[in-house]
Chain A
Amino acid sequence: MKRRAAACAAALGVVLSACGGGDPGSFEVGPDPELPPPQRGLLPSMTVAEPAPWGDRQPTVPEGYTIAAIATDLAIPRQTLVLPNGDILVAEGRGGNAPALKPKDVIAGYIKAQGTTAVEGGNRLTLLRDGDGDGTYEVQTVFAENLNAPYGLALVGNALYVANQDALVRFAYREGQTRAAGAPVKVTDLPSAINHHWTKALAASPDGRFLYVGIGSNSNITERGMVAEVDRAMIWEIEAATGRHKPYATGLRNPTALAFHPETGELWAVVNERDEIGPNLVPDYLTSVREGGFYGWPYSYWGQNVDDRVRPQDPAKVASAIVPDYSLGSHVAALGLDFSTPAMGAGFAEGAFVGEHGSWNRKDPVGYKVIFVPFRGGRPAGQPIDFVTGFRGEDGKTRGRPVGVTVDPRGALIVADDLSNTVWRVTPRSRLSQR
C-alpha cells in the first residue's frame, strides 16, 4: 500500500494525494456490475505503465496454446485484418490533435506519454504473409502509406475499407496483392475536429451494404464544451455505395472496436467509458448495439446513473439511456473485439475476444491482457477468461499493450501490441499437430 501511494504521489510530483478506492473484483464484471458512488479527490489516482523490452519473455497463453511474434519493429500497430488468402493487414499510426486547454492537459499529456511507445506512427498498412503455412510470416511489406492514422479495417468483396482518423477510404483489392495499386478513394469524411478520441473503428455488415464507424467523444466528460461533441460519441452507419451516413446509435463515449456476431448478425461494440469519478467507475463495456439506441454519454452512465459533471443536464435523455450488456471493468481500456470460431479450440469456440490496452488513471492497474467472454445463444454467458496475459509483468514493468484482436478463421488469434510494436499470433497446439 505504502509503495502504491508513493508512486501515485510521485506521478504528479506533488505531496497532496487523493489515492484511494478499492481493488477490482469480479463484482465489477458481467451483466450487472456493482457501481460504487462517484468519488474524486483533489488529484486523480494514476499509475502509468513503465515500458520495458520483452527480452526473452513472451505473453502467457492458456495450456494447449502457443504464442509467437509474427511481426516486430512496426510503427504503432493498432488493428489487423485477416484477408481471404491468410495474409494479414496491420493498420499503424497515432492520431489526435487535441490542443491542451488547461494547465492540467499539459501535465497529464506528459505523464500519459511515459506509458506509450516513443516510435512515430506509421500512417500506413503493413502486409504480413506466411506463404508456406508454417506459422512464420516471412513477408513483411508496406501495403499502403501516407494514410492519416488508419485504424479500422474491413474487406467487402474486392473493396478494402480503411477508417482513417478523418475519412473512410476504399482501396481496390485483388487477392494476392502485396501492395495497393494506387491511392485510395474517399467514401466519406469522418468527424475529425479536435479528435480527442481519434480512433475510427470499422465493421462491415454481413451483406456488405453498410459500414459502421465508431466515433469517440471529443472529451472525457464535455470539458471541451458541448459544441465539440456534435457528431461525436456515436456509431455511424454509412452506405458503402454512396457514402451517405446517419447516426446508428449514440451516447457511446468511445466505441473503439466493432464486430458482427457471426450467428445473430447483430452489431457488437466495446466502449470505453468516462474517467475521474473513481477507480471502479465507470465500467468499460461490451454491448450489442441497437439501432437508434442511446447509451448515456455524457448525461448518464450504465443506464440512469446521472453524471453531475455535465451542464446543462438532460433528464429526458437520461431516462432513455440503454443499459449495456456486459461490463468489462472500469478503466481496462478495451480496444479490440472479434468473435471466435470453433477452430480456436473447444474452450474458446463460442464467444468474443477482447483486447484490453490497460489502465493509467487508476492506482492498481487493470487490463493489459486479452480476455475471452464466453457466449451462448448470441449473448454473453459467464465470467470472462484470461486468454493472453503477462503484458504487465510481476516486476511492475509493462512490455506490451494489446489493441486490436482478430480471429483468423483457420484457427488463430492475431493481437496487435502498440507498445512493443509487435503483432502476436496465438494458435491452439492441436491445430499444429494436425498438419
Chain B
Amino acid sequence: MPVTADRTQPSTRPDTHPVGRSWIRPFHALLLGGTLSLFLGALLSDIAYYRSYEIQWNNFASWLIAGALAVGVLVLLSAIVDLARAAWRGRPAVYFVLLLVAWVAGFVNALVHAKDAWASMPAGLVLSAIVFVLACVAAWLGFSALRTGEVR
C-alpha cells in the first residue's frame, strides 16, 4: 500500500474501500459510463423506430445494445474485482447484482432486437427502458457507495 494513499485517510478509521485508489476505479467508471450511454442510445433509437417505422433506428438499436453488452462484460469483471477487494460488501454486492440483472435483461433484449422488422416491437422498446433504468440504479448505488468511502 503506497504511503501517499494513507495520507487522505484518517488513521483512526478502517480502510473500507481500498480499491477506490487503485487503477481499477477510474477504468471501471469509464466503462460504466460507456455502457450507460450505449443503453441510453439504444432506448432513444427504439423510441425513434417506434414513432417513425424507419428501420435504420432498429439497426442502430441492435448495434448499440451489442456494444453495451460487450463493454458491460468488462464492467461486470471490474465490479467483481471491486467486490472481492471490498472490506464491506453490502453495497458493492447490490451494485454487482443489479449490473448482472441489467446485463442479462440486455442480452434478452439483443435477441428480441434480432427479430425482423416490427417483430421486435413493442417488447424491444419496453426492455430497452427497463435495462437502462436498471443500469442507472446500479451505477447510482455503486458510485454513491464509492463516494462516501472516499470522503470519509
Question: Does any Cβ of B come within 8 Å of A57's Cβ?
Answer: no
Which residues of A sit under 8 angstroms from B63, Cβ to Cβ?
A: 102-103
Q: Is the CB of A103 within 8 A of B117?
A: no
Which residues of A sit under 8 angstroms from B113, Cβ to Cβ?
A: 102
B71 to chain A, nearest CB (A): 14
Q: A276-B119, A311-B117 are in contact. Are A225 and B54 (CB under 8 A)?
A: yes
Q: Is the CB of A311 within 8 A of B116?
A: no
How distant is the Cα of A384 from the Cα of B59 in the complex, in angstroms? Answer: 41
Within A271-311, the residues touching B (CB, 8 Å) are: 276, 308-311
Q: Is the CB of B114 within 8 A of A309?
A: no
Q: What total of A-B pairs shows CB separation below 8 Å?
A: 55
B56 to chain A, nearest CB (A): 7
Question: Does any Cβ of A come within 8 Å of B29's Cβ?
Answer: no
Question: Does any Cβ of B come within 8 Å of A312's Cβ?
Answer: yes
* B residues whose Cβ falls under 8 Å from a Cβ of A: 53-56, 58-59, 62-63, 66, 108, 110-119
A96 to chain B, nearest CB (A): 17
Of A16, A104, A221, the residue contacting B117 (CB under 8 A) is A221
8 contacts between A and B (CB under 8 A): A42-B112, A103-B62, A103-B114, A223-B117, A276-B119, A309-B116, A309-B117, A310-B117
Question: Does any Cβ of B come within 8 Å of A219's Cβ?
Answer: yes
Which residues of A sit under 8 angstroms from B59, Cβ to Cβ?
A: 101-102
Residue of A nearest to B53 (CB): A311
Which residues of B sit under 8 angstroms from A219, Cβ to Cβ?
A: 116-117
4 cross-chain pairs, A with B, having the tightest CB-CB distances, nearest first: A104-B114, A223-B116, A225-B55, A311-B53
Q: Is the CB of A42 within 8 A of B119?
A: no
Which residues of B sit under 8 angstroms from A104, Cβ to Cβ?
A: 62, 114
How distant is the Cα of A42 from the Cα of B127 in the complex, in angstroms? Answer: 13
Which residues of B sit under 8 angstroms from A226, Cβ to Cβ?
A: 55
Q: Is the CB of B56 within 8 A of A225?
A: yes
Band of interface residues on A:
20 to 34
B125 to chain A, nearest CB (A): 13
B12 to chain A, nearest CB (A): 51
Interface flags, A39-69, vs B, CB<8A=1, else 0: 0101100000000000000000000000000
Which residues of A sit under 8 angstroms from B54, Cβ to Cβ?
A: 225
Known: A222-B116, A276-B115, A308-B119. 7 other contacts (CB 8 A): A101-B59, A102-B113, A222-B55, A308-B118, A309-B117, A310-B118, A311-B117
A15 to chain B, nearest CB (A): 11
Which residues of B sit under 8 angstroms from A220, Cβ to Cβ?
A: 116
Q: Is the CB of B114 within 8 A of A102?
A: yes
B63 to chain A, nearest CB (A): 7
How distant is the Cα of A139 from the Cα of B118 in the complex, in angstroms? Answer: 52
Q: Is the CB of B62 within 8 A of A309?
A: no
How distant is the Cα of A137 from the Cα of B66 in the complex, in angstroms? Answer: 53
Q: Is the CB of B55 within 8 A of A223?
A: yes
Question: Does any Cβ of B come within 8 Å of A261's Cβ?
Answer: no
How distant is the Cα of A102 from the Cα of B65 in the complex, in angstroms? Answer: 11
Which residues of A sit under 8 angstroms from B118, Cβ to Cβ?
A: 308-311
Of B55, B62, B112, B119, the residue contacting A224 (CB under 8 A) is B55
